[in-house]
Chain A
Amino acid sequence: MVTYDHYLEEPGSLDVEYFSTLGAQRAGHDFHAGWLEFEYGATAWWTTELYLDGQTTFHDSTVFTGFRWENRFRLLQREHFINPVLYIEYEQISEADKIVKEVEGHDVEADHAVPNANARQGHNHELELKLLLSKNFSGWNVAVNPLATKPLLPSGPWEFGYAVGASRPLALKASAQKCNFCRENFSAGAEMYGGLGDTISPGLHETSHYLAAVAAWNLPSGWTFRVSPGFGLNDNSHRWLMRWGVAREFPGFGEALGKLLRGRQ
């Protein structure tokens, strides 16, 4: 749920997704961060996505924390030994944001202990770049995502991070019958992600890292359910992060919207 493979949204399709992260906070209150994603396949080589983030910190408050605009560009026309996709994201979020969609620089658990009233006073404008590298073999997809983030306002050093993951459908061959519970509709895997410091202080000190199991259930009707229990790997990490999400694909959305805008049947 953090690691990306190299597959983009199908052209003209809109994926509407809701995801949430339930996090355990040692010094402070646990939280439930939710976000909405609108993922649109502009072309077969370009997917654009809008995120709206929010969170509830228990015994504190619920706040909207900002938006992200993500773009993924397929760099090569055909499949290769390793398939690269360029990821560019602009974020305008407050410091109260807790979706932990990626971990970068010296992000640590203590960052999320600040009460919402104080944290939401700080705003970040960031540019995030990732190189999504992915490969399939024997039914497995293995992906590696190095990332670099540049705080624009206020300006700051480049921050680095990583995510690696592998997943596989439970069955490689499709059954002949239509079914919701066929094994090929389920996939499972694991991922690991964390920060790698910044240009001022690169390395693993004062960074957080997570290991998570991931599972997905893709229904033929276009619905997808995902769940991912994750665990912090050091003292700077949340003890656990429980993620889950639901997504619904709307094929032909672009065509329908185009007709609507042009006033045609």
Chain B
Amino acid sequence: MKAAFLPLGVLLLGAVVALAQADRSKARNAADSRFDYAELAKAPDKARGRRNPLAGDETAAAGGRKLFEQHCAECHGLTGEGGKKAPSLIVPEVQGATAGALFWVLTNGVVRRGMPVWSKLPEAQRWQLVRYLETLKLDTPPATEAK
């Protein structure tokens, strides 16, 4: 009987550690957001110089907006204003970044700071997201009601 409790105890301990780790990571992000933007500067020159192949595509931003609401708004807010878990995207660091640098950060994430890699989205969709990020401005009205 005792043997049956051991794995359950380990499991419970794991669950507590997992929740605590998530909390710690969130607190660290809120306390020091410099790292979030510093990541943009880490993009290699080759990646930073890449041009958005959908730059001339008028529907790209609309698709990007849909993807943003689906995958990014949970942490970055519906209009990219930022939140407890992730920084604002309506700041000069982001708005002044090249399309290539934004694409690079999207692809690689900022794993140590809690942002997952988004290479699971096809390349075209990541470029659509970049296109949408470039349209974000401080006076952007809310995209839609939160689901």
Contact = CB atoms under 8 A, between A and B. Distances in A.
Contacts of B81: none
B125 interface: yes
Contact of B22 (A67, A173, A254, A261): A254
A172 B127 CA distance: 11
B109 interface: yes
A44 B125 contact: no
B19 A254 contact: yes
B7 A92 contact: yes
B108 A78 contact: yes
Given A12-B85, A78-B111, A79-B107, A42 B66 contact: no
Interface string A159-186: 0000000000100111111100000100
Majority secondary structure of chain B interface residues (helix, strand, loop or mixed): helix
Interface residues of B, number: 43
Nearest to B127: A173
Interface size class of A (residues with CB under 8 A): 35 or more
A67 B4 CA distance: 11
Given A12-B85, A69-B11, A174-B63, A40 B107 contact: no
Given A92-B7, A139-B123, A174-B66, A11 B116 contact: yes
A7 B122 contact: no
Interface in A67-94: 67, 69, 71, 74, 77-79, 90, 92
A90 B9 CA distance: 13
B39 to A, nearest CB: 10
Given A173-B128, A176-B63, A178-B66, A79 B122 contact: no
Given A7-B120, A169-B122, A174-B67, A48 B18 contact: yes
22 contacts: A10-B116, A41-B22, A42-B19, A43-B25, A44-B25, A44-B109, A44-B110, A69-B10, A69-B11, A78-B109, A136-B120, A141-B120, A173-B54, A173-B125, A174-B67, A174-B124, A184-B125, A220-B66, A220-B70, A252-B74, A254-B19, A255-B85
Interface of B: 7, 10-11, 14-15, 17-19, 21-23, 25-26, 54, 59, 62-64, 66-67, 70, 74, 84-85, 107-117, 119-120, 122-125, 128, 147
